[in-house]
């Protein structure tokens, strides 16, 4: 079950002045809508989705979302190029902010770098969040996927030594895996058309399409 959520419904400038909103704030509202507690955030009827007893809304702190409106350029082509650059920086920030005991996964729908298929795996909490994120436009939030203890341990094991990144892989045609190693975040990039088998295995366990 999915819920299509226009970003315009979750603008937070009036509530959070002087800084960007984090996805934990957005997802907190989303979680309440899905659980039927906060009917005022959406005009659609609340829906029930399977969730664990863990409050998972706070697990999105590392995924920063800007809601500030950029000045519209006079030339459409320039605006398109600027949006692609902004989107690339936005998604690279998501990969770079992977927290301890988490795996961040990303690829792009139709090789469009503004439409990210985001999968965040939290190993300690044994839960997976998947979001289709159309940069500066809309979220499609999928129901959380609960992992078994065995699946979480398998993911820990297979991500310890990932293959080296492909140096010539195009950004918009790539699949990315990031993980934290001590104080550093390691980001791996592969051509999605022939990604290593371990990447497919990560997606098979996490429940997201590749």
| pLDDT at residue 81, rounded to an integer | 75
| pLDDT at residue 209, rounded to an integer | 85
| pLDDT at residue 139, rounded to an integer | 87
pLDDT one-digit tens code per residue, 52-77: 444 444 444 434 333 233 333 333 44
pLDDT one-digit tens code per residue, 116-129: 999 999 999 999 99
Count structural domains, the chain: 1
pLDDT one-digit tens code per residue, 142-194: 999 999 999 999 999 999 999 999 989 999 999 999 999 999 999 999 999 99
Distance CA 129, CA 33 (A): 16
- Structural domain span for residue 106: 2-206
3-state helix/strand/coil string of the chain: CEEEEEHHHHCCCCCCCCCCEEHHHHHHHHHHHHHCCCHHHCCCCCCCCCCCCCCHHHHHCCCEECCCCCCCCCCHHHHHHHHHHHHHHHHHHHHHCCCCCEEEEEEEHHHCCCEEEEEEEECCCCEEEEEEEECCCEEEEECCEECCHHHHHHHHHHCCCCCCCCCCCCHHHEEEEEEEECCEEEEEEEEHHHCCHHHHHHHHHHCCCC
- Region of 126 (left: φ > 0; alpha: ψ -120 to 50; beta: rest) is left
- Residues 158, 152 contacting (CB under 8 angstroms): no
């Amino acid at each position: 079950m999915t819920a299509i959520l226009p970003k315009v419904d979750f603008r937070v400038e009036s509530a959070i002045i002087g800084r960007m909103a984090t996805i934990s704030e957005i997802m907190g509202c989303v979680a309440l809508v899905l659980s039927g507690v906060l009917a005022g955030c959406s005009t659609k009827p609340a829906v029930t989705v399977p969730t664990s007893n863990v409050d998972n809304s706070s697990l999105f702190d590392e995924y920063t979302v800007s809601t500030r409106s950029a000045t519209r350029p006079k030339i459409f082509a320039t605006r398109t190029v600027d949006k692609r650059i902004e989107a690339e920086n936005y998604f690279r920030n998501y990969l770079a902010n992977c927290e301890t005991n988490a795996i961040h996964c990303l690829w792009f729908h139709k090789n469009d770098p503004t439409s990210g298929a985001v999968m965040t795996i939290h190993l300690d909490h044994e839960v997976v969040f998947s979001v289709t994120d159309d940069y500066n436009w809309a979220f499609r939030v999928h129901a959380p996927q609960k992992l078994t203890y065995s699946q979480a341990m398998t993911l820990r094991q297979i991500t310890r030594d990932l293959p080296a990144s492909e140096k010539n892989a195009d950004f918009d045609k790539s699949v990315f895996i990031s993980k934290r190693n001590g104080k550093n975040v390691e980001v791996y990039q592969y051509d999605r058309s022939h990604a290593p088998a371990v990447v497919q295995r990560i997606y098979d366990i996490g429940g997201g399409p590749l």
